[in-house]
Amino acid sequence: MARIKSVTPTPQDDLQTVVQSRTREWHFHIYFLLQSPTEKAAALALRDAVLRLRRDGAFVAVPLHSVNEYPIGPHPAGSYEIWVPDSSFSDVFFYLACNRGDLSVLIHPLTKQQRRDHESRNGWLGKPWPIYLDGLPRESEEVPLQYPELRLGWSSAPETEISLDERRERGAKLEALLARDPEAAPAPTD
């Protein structure tokens, strides 16, 4: 019997490559059982709370106007999508982690590779659901922009970007501050 050798990929550590390849927009898909009026009500109450908090300035999160009352696309249940720019990701993630109850939330980046985003670049809050990937394109010409009028995420102005030199300077300052902390691991010197 042939033995299958597992290959562990080498993590990318080139600053420019990592900065240029990061994502800037995310989707949070809140799932609910179609047969459960209680779950649907909980999902819609969570949606309303997100909308109120967005209105009040807690974070930028844009639930789509439509709520899927049946399986659609790769999603096997009732669901709705919340678009989030990278600048609000941690706030929305933490809010949903603390307030989702028993609902499951699929989280994935928004890139040109929609199938990979849903298949291997995803994460879950709660129990994972099986998703149907066959209908998703493997590669698109462009990132599917949402809400460009907000000038956030993929639509942010290039001049608002932090340069690679500024990033290196911030990194050096951080390393210097942490050098005196015995609990913090130092970065390699190579």
Determine the Cα–Cα distance for residues 143 and 87; give it in Å rounded to an integer.
Answer: 18
Domains of the chain: 22-157 (3.30.70.1240)
Give helix 89-99 / helix 37-55 axis angle, nearest 10°: 140
Q: Which residues of the chain have pLDDT under 70?
A: 1-6
Instruction: Check: CB of residue 72 under 8 Å from CB of residue 40.
Output: no
Q: Give the model's pLDDT for residue 160.
A: 80
Q: Give the model's pLDDT for residue 157.
A: 78
Radius of gyration of the chain (CA): 20
Q: What angle do CA 84, 86, 87 make, to 5 degrees?
A: 100
Q: Give the model's pLDDT for residue 80.
A: 97
Instruction: Report the amino acid identity of residue 169.
Output: E
